[in-house]
Amino acid sequence: MAEPFKKDVEILTVTIGEDPPDRLDKALVREVPEKASLSRSRLMKLIAEGAVTLDGVPITNPKTRVFEGQEFMIMLGEAIELDTLPQNIPISIVYEDDELIVVDKPVGMVVHPAPGSWNGTLVNALLYHCADSLSGVGGVKRPGIVHRIDKDTSGLLVVAKTDKAHHALAAQFEDHSVTRHYLAVVHGAPNAADPRLRGIQGVSFETGGIVKIATNLARHKTDRQRQAVLFGFGRHAVTRVRVLESFGAPEAAALVECWLETGRTHQIRVHMSYAGHALLGDDTYGGRRRVAARSVGDPVADMANAFPRQALHAASLGFIHPKTKKRMQFESPLPTDMAALIEELRNSKPPKAH
């Protein structure tokens, strides 16, 4: 039960129950009330800071053995300010309440500050927009980023405003219950009848014309900015793909729907390239592949090959609200650049044979 200590600190008293785990951090995770919204990582930090005491003595080793009936005191300070500049950057808010915010991220915006992109990020914008409505995530007044999309990918992101929402959303991403569907324009058109595609390790086919790509992903051995497909090690990744519309004669490109069972860095881009259907505009994973003028005509081929970013849009997002427990579903229309690209491909005509 929490009790006031001084103006900016509260004390949470935690009693160890029967048959406790063999170490302090695990025992505290089990015993701390859910409403306190303290993750194991936050508790580890509090232990290291000396904010967890037993009989007035700070316990700084998370591996300390605990026993039934012991009472630990956890000192919780007010959330501190994040050392990142709030910036008045326009953002498209799809939904917002006290627990979370859903944003439609534009092309060109980095989600989180990092070397080379300390300003102008979504976090900078949210710190300004949300202001005092951030109650603190991990002890810091900051938006809780539970998933990201690349700088040059547009579309939907959900961001937590409280520790409790952050934990609940992160758990849904971890157990793959969040639904995320993307729209992409790719080279060629994946087809279950394609013997080349059938011969690729990790590629299989499901009813309804769905292509399933299941591999491991890890950082590329020589280019640390890229991801690579592996099978012996790395992180498991599963992408499903369905062709919505194909363009050109023969098929030069296609609009596909991709949905993620997992959410690894660059997952769709890597998997589509691995399957031989890299995204238009993706210089990192698309190599030198080009849309052929003989399939769509010179003007459309020129436009498609000059597309300035990976043609990828996070079009839909669904999850369970951390507080209301209701299913929430959001949709985002295609951005103007992808919509224009698709329209040109749709209306393209191959040159007449002479």
Tokens of 281: 């505009």
E-assigned strands of 289-326?
A: 312-320
**Catalytic pick among 150, 163, 194, 223:** 150
Q: Establish whether 19 is a catalytic residue.
A: no
DSSP-derived pairing of the beta strands 80-81 and 140-141: parallel
DSSP code of 279?
Answer: B
Dmax over CA atoms of the chain, in Å, equals: 92
Per the structure block, which two tokens stand in for 280?
């238009």
Q: What angle do CA 306, 307, 312 make, to 5 degrees?
A: 155
Pairwise CA distance, residues 61 & 48, whole Å: 7
Helix (H) or strand (E) holding 175: none
Secondary-structure breakdown of the chain: helix, strand, coil percentages, each rounded to the nearest 5: 20, 35, 45
Cβ atoms 247, 345 nearer than 8 A? yes
- Which residue stretches of 152-250 are H helix? 163-174, 195-198
Q: Let me know: does 59 contact 72? Beta carbons within 8 Å.
A: yes
- Pairing of the two strands 2-6 and 9-15: antiparallel
Hey, what are 47's tokens? 């232990």
**Cβ-count burial of 8 within 10 angstroms (0-12 exposed, 13-18 middle, 19+ buried)?**
exposed
Distance CA 97, CA 298 (A): 49
| 29's tokens | 């995770």
- Are 254 and 241 within 8 A, CB to CB? no
Quick one: tokens of 41?
A: 């990582």
Q: In this structure, what are the phi and psi dihedrals at residue 123, rounded to the nearest 5 degrees?
A: -60, -45
* Residues labelled as active-site residues: 150
